[in-house]
Amino acid sequence: MRAEWIARGASHISRAGVGDVGGLTPLMKAIHLAEAFGMCLEVHGGGPGNIHALAAMGIPGEYYERGPLHPLIDYEEPPPWLKSLVDPIDAQGFVAVPQGPGLGMDLDFDYIESNLVDE
């Protein structure tokens, strides 16, 4: 539907993210579609895929959405499978694009190995 809305001029901005369009490749396709029509696309959600997509956009997004705030979630604590946060906020309130291999995640392979599930 997003393509139909864009092609028919039914919207002036689009929104997509890795989690709601099926991954980084479909997100980049949605971004390129919007850009082909001179339209902005708001990247929806946080995480390494969305950060990298945001950094690769020709028509840049306005902001990075780190995640919905929730009183029981500590966004300054990495999930157990990571050694460090993918998107730490600096003193000025900015989030940098991870520079490590792949999507820049510092995976804790010891944790992953100890939590494998047999089929």
Domain ranges of the chain: 2-114
Q: How far is CA 5 from CA 27, 57, 72, 106, in A?
A: 16, 20, 37, 38
Buried b (16+ CB within 10 A) or exposed e, 28-52: bbbbebbeeeebbbebbbbbbbbbb
Supply the pLDDT for residue 57: 93
- Indicate the class that CATH gives domain 2-114: alpha beta
pTM of the model: 0.84
Supply the pLDDT for residue 115: 96
Supply the pLDDT for residue 69: 75
Supply the pLDDT for residue 109: 97
pLDDT(60) > 90 = no
pLDDT(108) > 90 = yes
Q: Is 11 left (phi over 0), alpha (psi -120 to 50) or beta?
A: beta
Arithmetic mean of pLDDT, 57-68 = 80
